[in-house]
A and B are shown apart, each in its own frame.
Chain A
Amino acid sequence: MRQKIKVADISKTAREPLTHLEGRDLMPLPPPYDGPAGQHDWPPLPAQTLAGCECFLDDTCVVNFPQPKTKQEEDELVGKFLSGLEKLFNRDNNWTFLQPLVLTMEHCTKCQTCSDACHIFEASGRNEIYRPTFRTEIVRRLYFKYVKRGGLLSAWQHGDIQLNWPLVARLLELCYRCNLCRRCAQACPIGADNGLVARELRKVFSQEMGITAKELHEKGSMLQLRVGSSTGMNAAAVRDNMDFIDEDTSERAGIAVKTPWDVEGADILLIHNAGEIVAWPDNPGAFALLLNAAGISWTLSSELAGYDSINYGVFYDDAQFARVAIKHAEAARKLKVKKIVLGECGHAHKALTLIADRVLTGDLNIPRESSLTLLRDIVTSGRIRFDPARNDFPVTLHDPCNLVRLMGVVEPQREILRKLCPQFREMEPHGVMNYCCGGGSGFAIISGNNFQDWRFQVSGRKKLLQILTAFEDCLDPSIPKYVCAPCSNCKGQFRDMFTYYGLWEKHRILYGGLVELIVNAMSDVKPGFLEWEWH
């Protein structure tokens, strides 16, 4: 029986995790995943990590922050944390999210409606540390005690908390146990936002203390701002890769494909998540083929960050977010395009189309739209002939949170699937009520220590269950099945999670993007564009 954890435990000075995750405590999965197939040995954290890093929250660790050597060092870090916390509630430092944050701090009724909406909390077997309000309650108590400088009366009203280094170190990890999917906020009757609190905490660590998950910062936004893409590809490399993709697509489709680069005055600047070019080349290849076939005036850009729509700042840092968004807009301005269209990447959609809407002003405020609406219009325009029989296999659709719940692009992708995929079926729940894939908020690219186990066993568990349920009538491996995920991060999570559970070998469940399905159904394309191979 798991020990009950209290909010005050976050300050425990014992250098041991607050909780251990046992397979038997997790949300049950259907057969065969209720047996050994679903239960992997969870490797313990390496002894070296445990000895040298602050990893005392649960059985995994994202940031690997080195343990301070002295009490003085600890106190300095606590002081920096506190100064960052104060800045969160200050107009000049945090105008970007001050209002929703203050409202969340001051008006939670502690009804726990949000908890039932959180897939991480549910999948963990309702482990207290993953409850959406657990993290927020700690921050709320700190807010009333240290930012509002409340005394005894305030402690009586809001609860007390002991601020020390173990609390700060555990919070650092705890803010990386949330997918920022904001399903909890959608369910909150007050409109309080526990997802926002996790992100604001990440900001305190990044913007004040310079501490982040390296995958998001050094290997993410910094790499992108240095060479142009968080994949590490510079402009020459990305053009080489696209040339190769063009050749490969032409050969497979039987139609010559050429990707246009840096075309001044084109109608559309298309920005892909550059991860597609490296990991799922069929996707940019299919885009090029389809847009050319539809007679669209479009281009890619080879400007710094102009060919990579990734914007990891949206997960942890407002300054990095704004810098990358501005780079995207500058690339469009330079080419004098009419609009920017975002490829199949959820967080990139939300970052540039919606959040950056209140950062980009003047001539940087270039219209931005989703590729899904463009694809829908191409498919329904009658300009291209399709043969839906080519997609006559079970298909289900994953709704990326950033694109759907947080941006309201719900129907275009469904219109396409209903038209081109005779065996399309929904997951339940779906649309704006969807569940996160478990890779949201940057998790899909974080894999240090045993964090992948946590990603697949905990944060991805609910989605796994949804997929298995959507295909429960056709799980037999003789029937190939396709999970359509119009988002690079979600695909990253699916690739790794399906491998972990053996979904391809056991059930022939493949995942992929939307545009690949469209091109696969084009009558003028050689049959078999979609390759039923694990990738």
Chain B
Amino acid sequence: MVSTIAIYAVLYASLAVFVVASIVRAAGYARLPLHLRWEIYPVPHEEKGRAAHGGSYFEMKDWWTQPAKFNRSGELKAMLAEMLFLKGLWEFKKKTWYRSYPFHLGLYLLFGATALLFSSAFLWIVAPRSWAAGPGIVLHGACVILGPAGIGLTLAGAAGLLLQRLTDADLKPYTTPADIFNLLFFIVAAGFLAAGYLWRGKGSFSAFALARGLLTFDAGLRVPALFGFGLVLGALLVAYIPLTHMSHFIAKYFTYHSVRWGDQPNGRGSGIEKRIAEMLTYRPTWAAPHIGADGAKTWAEIAITNPAQGGKK
């Protein structure tokens, strides 16, 4: 048996690293200055009729006089289709979707099973009678289905992706050792978790007991070694993800909302205009003579000089 408290510590620490690292990464991207517009159509929050063919408000004459309509349901639909079904990959690279989708779905299911497990454990602690009256059974049942399905899909998807990386002539040259390591990490962690759970010994231990133990710091719980090892690996993986490019769940928020779909026009006196005004005071140091930057001139000053007429304004 591994030390139960040590396992709890690793699990909590990993979760903390995951949360902090994700926040730091997201905050880092959010703090980057407002960029020039660079959208790509279709933009799903466009008015319904236009979104269908990928059109923009620029299709309207005198568009600035028309009330801005933000098609929230269109955007939400596009977001859900991308998040839940990886629609982009389905549309543009089915071969990879067949591997990537089970992998991601497996992770979603595992996440869902974990959330339900902890809800169930929490309910058991605070309201044992209500737990026993029904919700406990339902939550337990859901975990029993989602957990193994999640592990199975993650394993199968990661194995499929690894195989593709190792054999596909398009992917191989761009695959780094870390890419292989990352997929192996998923396979090994999920494998140990599955194996540890299957061979945990009868009646000695359950995922529910672990969740309860984690919430109550129950040092008396005995975690089987194999499963404990799987848990530690899984926890380390969770902490590792936001430190790598696998944190694209964060990046995608920005690439979609701020870049691809970032079509908010700049009106006179608007918040965007204020932000632009600030950025125009930045002082670039580009060295090519035609730019005329010396570290003292602002962007605005540079933009109104004419290098072809001796720097005249």
B279 vs chain A, min Cβ distance (A)? 5
In the bound assembly, the distance between CA atoms of A191 and B256 in angstroms comes to: 6
Q: Is A182 an interface residue (CB 8 A)?
A: yes
Question: Are A406 and B279 within 8 A (Cβ)?
Answer: no
Q: Is A523 an interface residue (CB 8 A)?
A: no
Q: Hey, what's the 0/1 contact readout for A368-409 against B, CB within 8 Å counting as 1?
A: 011001101100000000000000000000000000111111
Counting CB contacts under 8 A, is B308 at the interface? yes
Contact A95 B279 (CB under 8 A): yes
Question: Are B88 and A323 interface neighbours, CB within 8 A?
Answer: no
Q: Which of B171, B175, B303 is in CB contact (< 8 Å) with A359?
A: B303
Residues from chain A with a CB closer than 8 A to the CB of B268 are 361-362, 365
Residue of A nearest to B298 (CB): A92
Nearest 7 pairs of A and B residues by beta carbon? A191-B255, A408-B56, A432-B54, A226-B308, A189-B88, A225-B308, A210-B288
Interface residue ranges of A98-157 to B (CB < 8 Å): 98-100, 102-103, 106-113, 115-117, 128, 133, 137, 156-157
Contact present for A107 and B309 (CB under 8 Å): no
- Say yes or no: is B305 at the interface (Cβ < 8 Å to chain A): yes
Which B54-87 residues have C-beta < 8 A from chain A?
A: 54-64, 82, 86
A407: chain B residues within 8 A (beta carbon)? 41, 56, 58
List the interface of chain B (C-beta within 8 A of A).
29, 32-43, 46, 50, 53-64, 82, 86, 88-89, 91-93, 96, 100, 170-171, 173-179, 244-245, 247-248, 251-252, 254-256, 258-260, 263, 265-268, 272-273, 276-277, 279-280, 282-291, 299, 302-309
* Contacts A/B (CB < 8 Å), 21 sampled: A92-B283, A93-B286, A99-B32, A99-B33, A103-B259, A109-B245, A113-B92, A185-B260, A189-B92, A207-B288, A208-B286, A322-B302, A323-B307, A361-B276, A367-B62, A367-B64, A374-B61, A407-B56, A408-B50, A410-B53, A410-B54
Whether B304 pairs with A98 at a CB distance below 8 angstroms is no
B280 touches A361 (CB 8 A): yes
Instruction: Identify the interface centre among A96, A97, A320: most chain B CB within 10 Å of its CB.
Output: A96
Count, A-B residue pairs, CB within 8 A: 270
Rounded to whole angstroms, the CA-CA distance of A408 and B59 in the bound complex is 7
A98 and B286 form a contact (CB under 8 A) = no
| Whole-angstrom distance between the Cβ of B41 and the nearest chain A Cβ | 4
Question: A339: nearest residue on chain B (CB-CB)?
Answer: B62
Known A377-B61, A412-B59; contact A91-B282, beta-carbon cutoff 8 A? yes
Contact B33 A137 (CB under 8 A): no
Taking a contact as CB atoms under 8 Å apart, the answer to whether B35 and A411 are in contact is no
Whether B59 contacts A115 by the Cβ 8 Å rule is: no
Which of B60, B92, B276: most chain A Cβ within 10 A?
Answer: B92
Q: Within 8 Å CB of A108, what residues of B?
A: 245
Instruction: Given the known inter-chain contacts A110-B175, A408-B50, A408-B56, please indicate yes or no for A192 contacting B41, CB distance below 8 A.
Output: no
Question: In terms of DSSP, what is the predominant structure of the interface of chain A?
Answer: helix
A169 on the B face (CB < 8 A): no
Q: Does A275 contact B (CB under 8 A)?
A: no
Q: Find out whether the CB atom of A361 lies under 8 angstroms from the CB atom of B277.
A: yes
- Does the CB pair B259–A222 fall under 8 Å? no
Interface size grouping (class) on chain A: 35 or more
Please tell me which one of the listed residues A222, A224, A408 contacts residue B55 in the complex, with CB atoms under 8 A apart.
A408
Residue of A nearest to B275 (CB): A358
- Kindly state the separation between the CA atoms of A156 and B277 in the bound complex, as whole angstroms: 42
Which B residue sits closest to A115, measured CB to CB? B170
CA of A116 to CA of B60 in the docked complex: distance in angstroms?
Answer: 33
Please name the residue on chain A nearest to B173 by beta carbon: A6
Segment at the B interface, from A250-258, A349-357, A479-487, A498-506? A349-357
Q: Are A408 and B259 in contact (CB under 8 A)?
A: no
Note all chain B residues with C-beta closer than 8 A to A137. 174
Say yes or no for A12: interface residue by CB 8 A criterion: no
Nearest chain B CB to A34 CB, angstrom units: 26
Q: Report yes or no: A358 in contact with B33, Cβ–Cβ below 8 A.
A: no
Contact between A322 and B303, CB atoms less than 8 A apart: yes
List, in ascending order, chain B residues with CB within 8 A of A102's CB: 29, 32
Q: Look across to chain A and name the residue whose beta carbon is closest to the beta carbon of B277.
A: A361
A217 to B273, CA, bound (A): 29
Among B59, B247, B273, chain A packs the most CB atoms within 10 A around the CB of B59
Q: Which of A188, A196, A360, A431 is B53 in contact with, Cβ under 8 Å?
A: A431
Q: Are A370 and B58 in contact (CB under 8 A)?
A: yes
* Alpha-carbon separation in the docked complex, A113 to B63 (Å): 35
Bound Cα distance A377, B268 (Å): 27
Which residue on chain B has the smallest CB distance to residue A305? B306
In the assembled complex, the Cα of A116 lies from the Cα of B170 at a distance in Å of: 10
Nearest CB in chain A to that of B90: its residue? A189
Chain A residues whose C-beta falls within 8 Å of the C-beta of B34 in the assembled complex: 95, 99, 358
Residue A193 lies at the interface, judged by CB distance under 8 Å to chain B: yes
A190 touches B252 (CB 8 A): yes
How far is B177's CA from A222's CA once the two chains are assembled, in angstroms? 47
A84: which B residues are within 8 A, CB to CB? Answer: 286-287
CB pair A208 B53 closer than 8 Å? no
Contacts of A208 in B (CB 8 A): 286-288
| Residue in A closest to B303 when the chains form the complex, CB atoms | A322
Q: Within 8 Å of chain B (Cβ to Cβ): is A37?
A: no
Knowing A102-B32, A357-B265, A431-B54, the reply to whether A225 touches B276 (Cβ < 8 A) is no
B-chain residues with CB within 8 Å of residue A111 when the two chains form the complex: 89, 93, 96, 100, 171
Contact present for A95 and B43 (CB under 8 Å): no
| Cα–Cα distance between A185 and B58 once the two chains are bound (Å) | 21
- Contact, CB under 8 Å: A110 / B36: no
Alpha-carbon separation in the docked complex, A137 to B283 (Å): 30
Contact of B308 among A112, A223, A318, A326 (CB under 8 A): A223
B282 touches A404 (CB 8 A): no
* Complex Cα gap A225–B58 (Å): 28
Across the interface, B93 reaches (CB within 8 A) one of A113, A157, A373, A410, namely: A113
Query: In the assembly, what is the distance between CA of A192 and CA of B255, in Å?
Result: 7
Bound-state Cα–Cα, A210 to B255, Å = 30
0 or 1 for each of A68-103: is its CB under 8 Å from B? (1 = yes): 000000000000100110010001110111111011
How distant is B67 from chain A, measured CB to nearest CB, in Å?
A: 15
Task: Check if A209 is an interface residue, CB within 8 A of chain B.
Answer: yes
**What's the Cα separation between A322 and B43 when bound, in Å?**
25
Given known contacts A95-B282, A208-B286, is B176 in contact with A358 (CB within 8 Å)? no
Q: When chains A and B are docked, how far (Å) is the Cα of A190 from the Cα of B82?
A: 10
Partner of B303, one of A188, A319, A410: A319
- Determine whether the beta carbon of A116 is less than 8 Å from that of B308: no
Q: Judging by beta carbons under 8 Å apart, are B251 and A103 in contact?
A: yes
Cα distance, A215 to B53, chains bound together (Å): 35
A159 at the interface (CB under 8 A from B): yes
Is A206 at the interface (CB under 8 A from chain B)?
Answer: yes
Which residues from B are CB-within-8-Å of A365? 266-268, 273
B-facing residues in A309-341 (Cβ within 8 Å): 318-320, 322-323, 326, 339
A92–chain B nearest beta-carbon distance, Å: 4
What's the least CB distance linking B175 to chain A, in Å? Answer: 7
CA distance A207 to B41 in the complex (A): 29
Pick the contact of A97: B35, B39, B55, B256 (CB < 8 A): B35
Query: Does A361 lie within 8 Å of B266, measured CB to CB?
Result: yes
Instruction: Report the Cα distance A115→B95, complex, angstroms.
Output: 14
B222 to chain A, nearest CB (A): 37
Task: Give the distance to chain B from A428, nearest Cβ to Cβ, in Å.
Answer: 15
Inter-chain contact A100/B282, CB cutoff 8 Å = no
- Can you add 15 more A-B contacts, CB < 8 Å, to A91-B33, A113-B88, A322-B303? A92-B282, A93-B284, A103-B29, A110-B174, A116-B92, A191-B255, A191-B256, A192-B255, A210-B289, A222-B308, A323-B307, A354-B39, A357-B36, A365-B266, A407-B56
